[in-house]
C-alpha cells in the first residue's frame, strides 16, 4: 500500500518523555535523524537533518502520563468531527482539554455535541473555553509541547494559527484548504520547513490520501494497470451547499463576523466554493497522475443570482494541463434541477479507473478494461467495507506522534491548495494561469489577519448598495476581484 507519508519501519516506541529523550539521543548519536518528509508529486523525499537539530527538537510526545492533550480551534462542523476522530483513536490515551472559537454558540454546540459519545475523553472546564480572535492563542497555551492542536477555522486563518502552534512546539492537524492565495502559500511553505526543523508532526485534512482503497488504486495505476494516464475528470455538481450563496448582510451585524460565518461566500476567507468544495477531487486526480498540473484555463459564470451577493460563480469548467500534456477536466456546479455528480475518473491507454464514485467515502474505486463503464469489463474493484478516511487520517497522525515517525503533510497540502486556486483564478480572470503564476501572485486577499479584533473592519467591504466586488473575466484580468 502507498503510504501518504514515508513511515520508517522498526523504530522503537518510546512510551514516556524520558524514554523519548533517550530515544532521540540514540538517533542523534548515530549521526543523523530523519525528521521530515513529504511527497513531492508523490515521489517520496526524505529530509535528513543533523544530529544537533534532532537533539534541539522539543519532546514531541505526550507528557509523563502519556496522554496526548488536544485543543480544538474552530468549533464548527468539521472541527467537531475532527475532534471526535481524535478522541476515537485506539492507539493510546488522548483527551480534549481546550476549545476556541470566535462565536460562543458554535463552541457551546460543539462541546455539547462531543459530550455525548466522547465525554470520558473530555476535560474542558469553562476556563479552557475561549472566545475571540485571540482564542487560538489561549487554547494553545493550555497545551504542552508535543500535544496536538486542531485548526479547523476557515482557511484564511490557517497560517496565523499554524505559526503560533510551531512557536509552542505543538503537533498539528489542519483542515484543507491550507491557503487560498499566492502570498499565504509561500508563507505556509516556509512555516512547513520551520515545523520540520522542530520535528513537529502535521496532518492536513485531505483525508482521501489516507483511504486504503485509493492507496491500492494508486499502486495499481503506478504499476501500469490502466496504461498511461491521458485524461482525468472530476465532478462536484449539486445544489446550493454550505454558505456559498449569501444575500445582503442583515443590519446590525458585524460585517467581519458575518463574512466569517458565511465564509464560502467570500474569496478572502475560503477561496469560495471553488477552493472549499473542489480541492478533494482535484487532489485525488493529481495524486493518481502522480504530478501537479503546470497550467489551467477555465470558464464559469453567474446565472440565477436572485438576491445573492456572494463572490462565487454558479458553475466552473477547468482544463488543467500536466507537463506531459495529459489533461484533468474539472466541472463544478452549484445549481438545483441539474444532473448531479460527485466523482473522479482517470482514463489510461489500457483502461478506466474510477477514483471515487459519489462523495468522498466510500470511494468504491474500480478499474475497467477499456473506456466503457460496464460491469462485464470490471477487472478490479474495492472490497465492500471501506474504513472511514476521516478516522484513518487521525490514526496515522497519532501513530506518527507516538512513535516519532516523520510526518509533515503541509507542502503537499499547500500544493493541492495552489493547484485549486490556479483553476479558480483562471476561471475568475479568464486568463491562462500557470502553477508558478499562482505561487508568485502578489494578491494577498486578506493582509493583517493576525491582528484582527472583534472591532476590526472586514477584509472585504460592501459598496453603498451592500454589493461586494465580484470576478469579471476578461475585464479584471490580473486579480480575481
Ligand X SMILES: NC(=O)c1ccc[n+]([C@@H]2O[C@H](COP(=O)([O-])OP(=O)(O)OC[C@H]3O[C@@H](n4cnc5c(N)ncnc54)[C@H](O)[C@@H]3O)[C@@H](O)[C@H]2O)c1
Q: At its nearest, how many Å lie between ligand X and the CB of residue 73?
A: 6
Q: How many residues contact ligand X, by CB under 6 A?
A: 26
Q: 262-301: which residues touch ligand X (CB under 6 A)?
A: 276
**Is residue 17 a contact residue for ligand X (CB under 6 A)?**
no
CB of 135 or CB of 355, closer to ligand X: 135
**Is residue 204 a contact residue for ligand X (CB under 6 A)?**
no
> Per-residue DSSP letters for 233-244?
EEEEEES--TT-
Query: How many whole angstroms separate alpha carbon 108 and alpha carbon 134?
Result: 17
**Is residue 136 a contact residue for ligand X (CB under 6 A)?**
yes
Nearest residue relative to ligand X (C-beta): 76
**Is residue 310 a contact residue for ligand X (CB under 6 A)?**
no
User: CA Rg, the chain, in Å?
Assistant: 22
Binding part of the chain for ligand X, among 39-47, 153-161, 247-255, 315-323 by CB under 6 A, reads 153-161
Three-class secondary structure of residue 37 per DSSP: strand
Of 20, 157, 159, 162, the one binding ligand X by CB under 6 A:
157
- CA 350 to centroid of chain Cα atoms: 32
- Cα–Cα distances in angstroms (integers) from residue 11 to residues 26, 37, 196, 399, 425, in the given order: 11, 16, 19, 12, 44
Q: At its nearest, how many Å lie between ligand X and the CB of residue 312?
A: 14
**Is residue 445 a contact residue for ligand X (CB under 6 A)?**
no
Query: How many whole angstroms separate alpha carbon 160 and alpha carbon 172?
Result: 13
Of 367, 333, 229, give the one whose Cα is nearest residue 287: 229
CB of 260 or CB of 353, closer to ligand X: 260
Q: At its nearest, how many Å lie between ligand X and the CB of residue 51?
A: 37
Binding mask 48-87 for ligand X (x = CB under 6 A): -------------------------xxxxxxx--------
Q: At its nearest, how many Å lie between ligand X and the CB of residue 211?
A: 12
**Exposure pattern of 127-161 as b/e (b: 16+ CB <10 Å)?**
ebbbbbbbbbbbbbebbbbbbbbbbbbbbbbbbbb
Query: How many whole angstroms separate alpha carbon 14 and alpha carbon 446?
Result: 42
Q: At its nearest, how many Å lie between ligand X and the CB of residue 177?
A: 6
**Is residue 471 a contact residue for ligand X (CB under 6 A)?**
no
Of 248, 244, 262, give the one whose Cα is nearest residue 313: 244
Strand segments (E) across 216-350: 229-238, 295-301, 315-321, 327-334, 341-348
**Exposure pattern of 270-284 as b/e (b: 16+ CB <10 Å)?**
bbbbbbbbbbbbbbb
Q: 233-262: which residues touch ligand X (CB under 6 A)?
A: 260
Query: How many whole angstroms separate alpha carbon 80 and alpha carbon 166?
Result: 22
Binding part of the chain for ligand X, among 91-99, 133-141, 294-302, 375-383 by CB under 6 A, reads 133-141
CB of 73 or CB of 96, closer to ligand X: 73
Of 38, 39, 42, 153, the one binding ligand X by CB under 6 A:
153
CB of 182 or CB of 205, closer to ligand X: 205
Query: How many whole angstroms separate alpha carbon 98 and alpha carbon 85?
Result: 16
Query: How many whole angstroms separate alpha carbon 207 and alpha carbon 209?
Result: 5
Q: At its nearest, how many Å lie between ligand X and the CB of residue 78?
A: 3
Q: Are 380 and 404 in contact (CB under 8 A)?
A: no
Q: 94-123: which residues touch ligand X (CB under 6 A)?
A: 100-103, 106
CB of 176 or CB of 187, closer to ligand X: 176
**Is residue 176 a contact residue for ligand X (CB under 6 A)?**
yes
**Is residue 205 a contact residue for ligand X (CB under 6 A)?**
yes
Binding site for ligand X (CB under 6 A): 73-79, 100-103, 106, 133, 135-136, 152-155, 157, 175-176, 205, 207, 260, 276
Amino acid at each position: 500500500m502507498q503510504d501518504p507519508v514515508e513511515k520508517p519501519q522498526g523504530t522503537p516506541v518510546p512510551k514516556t518523555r524520558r524514554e523519548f529523550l533517550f530515544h532521540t539521543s540514540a538517533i542523534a548519536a548515530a549521526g543523523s535523524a530523519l525528521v521530515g518528509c513529504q511527497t513531492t508529486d508523490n515521489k517520496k523525499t526524505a529530509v535528513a537533518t543533523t544530529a544537533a537539530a534532532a537533539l534541539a527538537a522539543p519532546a514531541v510526545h505526550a507528557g509523563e502520563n502519556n496522554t496526548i492533550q488536544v485543543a480544538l480551534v474552530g468549533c464548527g462542523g468539521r472541527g467537531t468531527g475532527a475532534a471526535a476522530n481524535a478522541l476515537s483513536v485506539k492507539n493510546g490515551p488522548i483527551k480534549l482539554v481546550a476549545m476556541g472559537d470566535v462565536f460562543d454558540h458554535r463552541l457551546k454546540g460543539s462541546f455539547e455535541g462531543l459530550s455525548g459519545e466522547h465525554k470520558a475523553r473530555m476535560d474542558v472546564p469553562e476556563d479552557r473555553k475561549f472566545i475571540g480572535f485571540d482564542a487560538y492563542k489561549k487554547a494553545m497555551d493550555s497545551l504542552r509541547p508535543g500535544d496536538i492542536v486542531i485548526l479547523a477555522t476557515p482557511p484564511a486563518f490557517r497560517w496565523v494559527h499554524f505559526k503560533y502552534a510551531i512557536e509552542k512546539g505543538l503537533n498539528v492537524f489542519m483542515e484543507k484548504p491550507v491557503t487560498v492565495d499566492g502570498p499565504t502559500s509561500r508563507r505556509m511553505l516556509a512555516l512547513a520547513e520551520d515545523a520540520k526543523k522542530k520535528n513537529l508532526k502535521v496532518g492536513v485534512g485531505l483525508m482521501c490520501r489516507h483511504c486504503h482503497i485509493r492507496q491500492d488504486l494508486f499502486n495499481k495505476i503506478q504499476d501500469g494497470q490502466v496504461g498511461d494516464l491521458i485524461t482525468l475528470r472530476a465532478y462536484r455538481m449539486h445544489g446550493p451547499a454550505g454558505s456559498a450563496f449569501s444575500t445582503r448582510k442583515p443590519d446590525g451585524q458585524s460585517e467581519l463576523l458575518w463574512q466569517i460565518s458565511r465564509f464560502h461566500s467570500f474569496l478572502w476567507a475560503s477561496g469560495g466554493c471553488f477552493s472549499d468544495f473542489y480541492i478533494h477531487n482535484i487532489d485525488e486526480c493529481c495524486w493518481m497522475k502522480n504530478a501537479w498540473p503546470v497550467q489551467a484555463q477555465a470558464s464559469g459564470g453567474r446565472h440565477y443570482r436572485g438576491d445573492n451577493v456572494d463572490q462565487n460563480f454558479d458553475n466552473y469548467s477547468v482544463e488543467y494541463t500536466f507537463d506531459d500534456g495529459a489533461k484533468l477536466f474539472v466541472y463544478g456546479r452549484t445549481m438545483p434541477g441539474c444532473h448531479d455528480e460527485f466523482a473522479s475518473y482517470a482514463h489510461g491507454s489500457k483502461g478506466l479507473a474510477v477514483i471515487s464514485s459519489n462523495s468522498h467515502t466510500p470511494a468504491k474505486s474500480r478499474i475497467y478494461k477499456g473506456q466503457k463503464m460496464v460491469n462485464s469489463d470490471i477487472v478490479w474493484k474495492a472490497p465492500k467495507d471501506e474504513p472511514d478516511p476521516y478516522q484513518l487520517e487521525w490514526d496515522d497522525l497519532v501513530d506518527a506522534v507516538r512513535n516519532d515517525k516523520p510526518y509533515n503533510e503541509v507542502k503537499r497540502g499547500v500544493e493541492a491548495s495552489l493547484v485549486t486556486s490556479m483553476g479558480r483564478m483562471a476561471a475568475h480572470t479568464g486568463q491562462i494561469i500557470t502553477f508558478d503564476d499562482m505561487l508568485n501572485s502578489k494578491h494577498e486577499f486578506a493582509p493583517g489577519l493576525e491582528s484582527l479584533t472583534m472591532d476590526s473592519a472586514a477584509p472585504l467591504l460592501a459598496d453603498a448598495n451592500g454589493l461586494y466586488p465580484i470576478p469579471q473575466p476578461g475585464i479584471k484580468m490580473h486579480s480575481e476581484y
